[in-house]
């Protein structure tokens, strides 16, 4: 017989909304805690920036969002859809295939109101602590929260962590001489508009979507923009698209006078460093007595990036994988969790799940992959297949075709051209 549980979902971004929907579908009693005054998480653009632009001061007032004003999606609508609620069939304010962030927010708001999720959300309510009370016969969670300063404590049967992982900057630790840098530096988490870079010589570290987008935007106002990335080849300084934007290899060293020299031999006297180097996992409220360990780029042990074996299925995480097709991945993870909680789906034993995680870590080691690749889905199409199998669903042919074509465009044209390549076939 199906079991109905009292479940706390932490966060009302994409992950929290999909979790709430699937849990509700399984008749669980759901409370969604959301510290912000509106839903959408990442997609609720927030123009504020933090007092510490690098985002490392533990005493700063944290701004959750990391979107920049001009940001457009880096995936087409077809790949930002739910299986039965398609972004490609909706238009709110921007009909493009790769729309602006406001269009995504409106889609999520529509999703929440269509499936009556908004009434489950407690806005302006931050979860300050989740303590696991775990014995041989019973697992419960004591959830402490604050709403406008008022403290509450409640007990839940299960917790789904959906607090996002694009807020705590990850900074490089291997730049020789960085400790002597006395000029400005910031992380892309605190970038909103290009105006502050007017007439500056800017060094951007990173090579992902944010580095690519921001370098082009900043080049429209800055004097010079120099991108530096580990993956760029040594000895290949190249002018990319704009006449004041260059691509370099890694920084070799920074001299005491602030001159920065890249491994390709070029030196610049930069005014500011902008780090587009990604984010760390951060779950400050979770107290599990060591059963779950959160380290910069790894949360573990997690069976298939979702369940900590010792506490499965009562504790789970949605949205931990990086660089995948987030909407689909989160929907399928949520369905798996909801079904596991109502015992429609059985998980392997604790020992089997732990062995699976151990094997996965060992495989990474054999391939020479660092810990920061733990939750990356790059080149792992089998993960989505696994999730489909858990939820008893089959990937639609149309979605399969779009994924294949999108991946093909990306491999052929890279960041510089994949959007145009995709639009050529699918139209704007
Ligand atoms: P979030 O959206 O971060 O939501 C987490 C929520 O939890 C927030 O509302 C937060 O306020 C709340 N919260 C956190 N802590 C607490 C607490 N203690 N108590 C209560 N509430 C709490 N994905 C795509 O699919 N396509 C794209 O084009 C794309 N572009 C991106 C561009 C940028 C610059 C960034 C940063 C991300 C992008 N992503 C993109 C990834 C995007 O983050 C995911 O699509 C998705 O929004 C993540 O959802 P989430 O719910 O896991 O986290």
- CA torsion sign for 411, 413, 416, 418 is negative
pLDDT band at 231 (very low <50, low <70, confident <90, very high): confident
Q: Do 317 and 233 share a structural domain?
A: no
**Token duo for residue 134:** 């775990």
Instruction: Please tell me the distance between residue 376's alpha carbon and the centre of ligand 1 in angstroms.
Output: 16
Q: Do 246 and 132 share a structural domain?
A: no
Instruction: Please tell me the distance between residue 167's alpha carbon and the centre of ligand 1 in angstroms.
Output: 8
Alpha-carbon span 399 to 81, nearest angstrom: 10
pLDDT digit string, tens, across residues 375-384: 998 878 899 9
Q: Looking at 275, 300, 324, which one is the last position of a domain? A: 275
**Would the CB of 166 count as within 6 Å of ligand 1?**
yes
Q: Is residue 414 part of a domain?
A: no
**Would the CB of 10 count as within 6 Å of ligand 1?**
yes
* pLDDT of amino acid 111: 98
Q: Do 76 and 201 share a structural domain?
A: no
Which segments within 249-381 are labelled E, that is strand?
251-254, 259-262, 267-269, 272-275, 279-280, 286-287, 293-295, 298-300, 315-317
Dihedral angle computed from the Cα positions of residues 96, 100, 102 and 108, in that order, rounded to the nearest 10 degrees: 70
Instruction: Please tell me the distance between residue 16's alpha carbon and the centre of ligand 1 in angstroms.
Output: 9
Give the position, in ligand 1's atom list, of the atom nearest the Cα of 16: 51
Range of lowest pLDDT (13-22, 64-73, 376-385, 399-408): 376-385
Q: Is residue 296 part of a domain?
A: yes
**Would the CB of 252 count as within 6 Å of ligand 1?**
no
Residue 240 carries which DSSP code?
-
Name the more confident of 91 and 410: 91
Instruction: Please tell me the distance between residue 282's alpha carbon and the centre of ligand 1 in angstroms.
Output: 13
**Would the CB of 16 count as within 6 Å of ligand 1?**
yes
pLDDT band at 234 (very low <50, low <70, confident <90, very high): low
Q: What is the mean pLDDT of the chain?
A: 94
Q: Is residue 221 part of a domain?
A: yes
* pLDDT of amino acid 235: 63
Q: Do 286 and 252 share a structural domain?
A: no
What CATH number corresponds to the domain at position 262? 3.50.50.60
Specify the length of the chain in residues. Answer: 428
* pLDDT of amino acid 258: 86
Q: Is residue 133 part of a domain?
A: yes
**Would the CB of 190 count as within 6 Å of ligand 1?**
no
pLDDT band at 230 (very low <50, low <70, confident <90, very high): confident
Q: Do 192 and 138 share a structural domain?
A: no
8-27 average pLDDT score: 98
> Tell me, what's the ipTM?
0.99
255-268 average pLDDT score: 92
Question: Is 2's pLDDT higher than 70?
Answer: no
Using an 8 Å Cβ cutoff, are 420 and 413 in contact? yes
Q: Do 185 and 139 share a structural domain?
A: no
Q: What burial letters (b/e) apply to 208-229, b meaning 16+ CB within 10 Å?
A: bebbbbbbbbbbebbebbbbbb
Q: Do 351 and 240 share a structural domain?
A: no
Question: Among 262, 280, 215, 245, which residue's Cα sits nearest to residue 56?
Answer: 280
pLDDT band at 239 (very low <50, low <70, confident <90, very high): confident
3-9 average pLDDT score: 93
Alpha-carbon span 286 to 93, nearest angstrom: 38
Instruction: Please tell me the distance between residue 22's alpha carbon and the centre of ligand 1 in angstroms.
Output: 18
Question: Is 151's pLDDT higher than 70?
Answer: yes
Question: Is 426's pLDDT higher than 90?
Answer: no
Range of lowest pLDDT (60-69, 192-201, 398-407): 398-407
Q: Looking at 275, 291, 316, which one is the last position of a domain? A: 275
Q: Which residues contact residue 58 at a Cβ distance below 8 angstroms, ignoring those fewer than 6 apart? A: none
Alpha-carbon span 427 to 190, nearest angstrom: 33
pLDDT digit string, tens, across residues 43-56: 999 999 999 999 99
Q: Do 164 and 198 share a structural domain?
A: no
Give the position, in ligand 1's atom list, of the atom nearest the Cα of 98: 28
Q: Is residue 420 part of a domain?
A: no
* pLDDT of amino acid 251: 94
Q: Do 228 and 107 share a structural domain?
A: no
Question: Is 68's pLDDT higher than 80?
Answer: yes
Structural domain boundaries, residue 101: 6-168+279-398
User: In 60-136, which ranges are continuous DSSP H helix?
Assistant: 101-114
DSSP codes, 331-400: HHHHHHHHHHHTTSSPPPPHHHHHHHHHHHHHHHHHTT--GGGTTB-TT-THHHHHHHHHHT----HHHH
Q: Do 39 and 14 share a structural domain?
A: yes
pLDDT digit string, tens, across residues 95-139: 999 999 999 999 999 999 999 999 999 999 999 999 999 877 788
Q: Is residue 408 part of a domain?
A: no
Alpha-carbon span 81 to 264, nearest angstrom: 42
Q: Is residue 425 part of a domain?
A: no
**Would the CB of 45 count as within 6 Å of ligand 1?**
no
Q: Is 303 helix (H, G, I), strand (E, B) or coil?
A: strand
Domains in the chain: how many in total? 2
Give the rounded percent of residues in the chain with a pLDDT score beyond 90.
85
pTM of the model: 0.96
Q: Do 195 and 156 share a structural domain?
A: no
**Token duo for residue 249:** 């290899």
pLDDT band at 233 (very low <50, low <70, confident <90, very high): low
**Would the CB of 35 count as within 6 Å of ligand 1?**
yes
Pairing verdict, β 184-187 and 272-275? parallel
Q: Looking at 217, 249, 275, which one is the last position of a domain? A: 275
Alpha-carbon span 261 to 252, nearest angstrom: 6
If one counts every other C-beta atom within 10 angstroms of the C-beta of residue 399, the result is 17
Q: Do 193 and 336 share a structural domain?
A: no
Instruction: Please tell me the distance between residue 161's alpha carbon and the centre of ligand 1 in angstroms.
Output: 12
* pLDDT of amino acid 1: 59
Q: Is residue 198 part of a domain?
A: yes
């Amino acid at each position: 017989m199906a079991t109905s549980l009292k479940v706390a979902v932490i966060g009302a971004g994409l992950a929290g909304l999909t979790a709430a929907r699937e849990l509700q579908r399984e008749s669980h009693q759901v409370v969604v805690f959301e510290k912000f005054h509106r839903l959408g998480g990442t997609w609720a653009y927030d123009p504020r920036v933090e007092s510490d632009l690098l985002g490392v001061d533990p005493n700063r007032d944290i701004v959750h969002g990391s979107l920049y004003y001009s940001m457009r999606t880096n995936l087409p609508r077809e790949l930002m859809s739910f299986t039965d609620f398609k972004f490609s069939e909706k238009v709110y304010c921007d009909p493009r295939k790769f729309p602006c962030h406001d269009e995504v927010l409106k889609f999520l708001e529509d999703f929440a109101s269509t499936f009556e999720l908004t009434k489950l959300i407690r806005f302006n309510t931050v979860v300050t602590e989740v303590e696991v009370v775990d014995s041989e016969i019973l697992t419960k969670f004591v959830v402490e929260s604050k709403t406008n300063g008022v403290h509450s404590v409640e007990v839940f049967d299960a917790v789904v962590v959906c607090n996002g992982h694009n807020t705590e900057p990850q900074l490089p630790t291997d730049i020789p001489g960085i400790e002597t840098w006395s000029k400005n530096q910031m992380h892309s988490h605190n970038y909103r508009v290009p105006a502050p870079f007017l007439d500056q010589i800017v060094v951007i570290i990173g090579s992902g979507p944010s580095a690519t987008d921001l370098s082009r935007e900043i080049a429209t106002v800055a004097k010079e923009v120099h991108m530096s990335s580990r993956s760029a080849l040594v000895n290949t300084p190249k002018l990319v698209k704009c006449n004041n934007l260059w691509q370099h290899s890694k920084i070799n060293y920074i001299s005491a006078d602030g001159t920065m020299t890249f491994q390709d031999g070029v030196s610049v006297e930069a005014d500011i460093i902008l780090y587009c180097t990604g984010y760390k996992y951060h779950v400050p409220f979770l107290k599990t007595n060591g059963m779950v360990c959160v380290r910069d780029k790894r949360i573990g042990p997690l069976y298939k990036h979702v369940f900590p074996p010792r506490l499965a299925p009562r504790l789970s995480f949605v949205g931990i994988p990086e660089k995948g097709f987030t909407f689909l991945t989160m929907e399928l993870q949520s369905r798996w969790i909801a079904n596991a909680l109502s015992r429609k789906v059985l998980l392997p034993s604790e020992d089997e799940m732990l062995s699976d995680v151990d094997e996965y870590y060992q495989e990474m080691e054999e391939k020479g992959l660092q810990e920061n690749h733990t939750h990356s889905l790059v080149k792992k199409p089998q993960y989505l297949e696994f999730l489909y199998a858990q939820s008893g669903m089959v990937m639609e042919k149309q979605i399969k075709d779009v994924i294949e074509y999108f991946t093909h465009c990306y491999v052929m044209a890279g960041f510089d051209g994949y959007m145009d390549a995709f639009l050529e076939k699918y139209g704007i």
